Amino acid sequence: MSQVQDVQEQEHTVHDGDLLQLVTFHIGEEEFGVDILAVQEIIRLMQITMVPRASAFIEGVINLRGKVIPVINMRTRFGMPARPHDNSTRIVVTEFGQKIVGFLVDAVSEVLRIPAATVEDPPPVVAGIGSEYIRGVGKLNNRLLILLDLDNLLNEVNVNSM
């Protein structure tokens, strides 16, 4: 039994020293983060072409250097009220498997490195609609950063049909 505890403590120690590198962005008053390795680029808002009969949270598609990329409106995806786009609005372009998808966000904040030990599982009170998209909550000084699970978020999006 003590060997099992020793192994668990060693594994825990290894993970405590890990740093997560995240791209952070705002949707409404909340700050979110995704793994920087999933982000291809961040672009200014460009012409988005609506796709008929697409899900409500699909804003449309963009032409990025000859590639047609679906764009998900994160406000709509999370059930937040619409807001006019402004100079801070950005599209975070991510790669999901073999597909490239853009996320429309209110503003991109920064690239952060945070210790993995500061990330906790989502609290049980958020267990419900949308909680499956949350990988954890990072504590950074006086800020809380919601870490998104892109795999779960994008698995429900039928990007193959776009």
pLDDT at residue 131, as a whole number:
67
pTM: 0.80
- pLDDT per residue of the chain (162 residues) written in tens, 0 to 9: 443 333 333 333 334 568 999 999 999 989 999 999 999 999 999 999 999 988 889 999 999 999 999 999 999 988 889 899 999 999 999 987 778 999 999 999 999 999 998 898 877 665 454 567 888 899 888 888 999 988 877 766 554 444
17-161: CATH topology: OB fold (Dihydrolipoamide Acetyltransferase, E2P) (2.40.50)
Distances (CA, A) of 128 to 27, 29, 124, 133, 134: 19, 20, 9, 10, 11
pLDDT score of 8: 37
CB-side neighbour CA atoms (13 Å) of 102 = 26
Give the burial class of 105: count Cβ atoms within 10 A of its Cβ; 0-12 exposed, 13-18 middle, 19 or more buried: buried
CA triplet 52, 93, 48: central angle to 5 degrees? 35
Category of 130 on φ-ψ map: left (φ > 0), alpha (ψ -120 to 50) or beta: left
